[in-house]
Structure 1
């Protein structure tokens, strides 16, 4: 014979072996059982009465799954920003939109702390939208800098090709061909001697 004990809502049941997850849900919801093992139909009836107060089931659905609480669907946020729409905007518009998104994100974070955690999906969308706006701002700024430094002798380090440390320090063909004046005079006055073998 199994003994079931009741406990507060949200607390774990510490006494009695509970093998059925439905039994665990009903017991943890705060219902008292007699000292005999209830059958599955009794558990379903108790759970049905408990869940209809929280989630009224549809009249159309007569399946057994209607007796159990359904997870609350996450609502999709309307604050998604598409990258294709950002390229035609000016820098001022992008900065303004970025400020609006950041302020909205701050408000949602405050609401998440004060209320339930149902704002997680919208916070995720806002963070990704902020990242998209920042990416477009950065790429447009780099594009303008490349045009500005196009014919200059030196480029900023972040605009130069990455490559590797050894390749970046390697001499160019023009630098390799350069020689000192002293070396040129030595090669002129003391050229390499050429020897020939005379065959009789």
Structure 2
């Protein structure tokens, strides 16, 4: 029982290790894990031992980790590509809330018409001092 636990722990894929691997190697590792999962599923159908069946969940989680790292890398590449661009894909834009996204920008708020500018220039705010 102890040796089984050790064998499972040694084969768990760690996300921080995957981030240092190139995309081609990640894809290769993903295909290897998928092949291993299909082999385990065949063993499951042919009534294999319990340790091999327990490994299915470990392999599935490893596949999920690899896919997650691939997705994170793609998103970071997209963010870098669209960094200085005027228009960005919706999933790269900041989410915030619907109200905040529709709010006017600072420049839009501060814009004034010609008439407003003239009125502000000719009639400045009067400051009165109250003598008590």
TM range (shorter): 0.7 to 0.9
Match in the other structure for 2:98: 165
Pairs within 5 Å for 1:1-200: 73=1, 75-76=4-5, 77=8, 78-116=10-48, 118=50, 119-179=52-112, 183-185=113-115, 188=118
**SS across alignment from 1:115:** coil
Is this contact kept in 2: 1:102–1:130, CA < 8 A?
Answer: yes
Q: TM-score, normalised by structure 1?
A: 0.52
Q: 1:186 to 1:160 in 2, by over 3 A?
A: closer
Structure 2 gap ranges (5+): 125-132
RMSD: 2.6
Structure 1 gap ranges (5+): 1-72, 195-200
Q: For 2:116 and 2:57, locate their aligned partners in 1 and report how far apart those are by CA, in whole Å.
A: 72
Instruction: Please identify the structure whose Cα radius of gyration is greater.
Output: 1
**SS across alignment from 2:91:** helix
Is this contact kept in 2: 1:79–1:122, CA < 8 A?
Answer: no
Q: Name the one with the larger helix percent.
A: 2
Q: TM-score, normalised by structure 2?
A: 0.75
Runs ≥4 residues deviating over 6 A: 191-194
Q: For 1:152 and 1:125, locate their aligned partners in 2 and report how far apart those are by CA, in whole Å.
A: 41
- CA displacement at 1:116 relative to structure 2: 3.7
**Paired positions, count:** 119
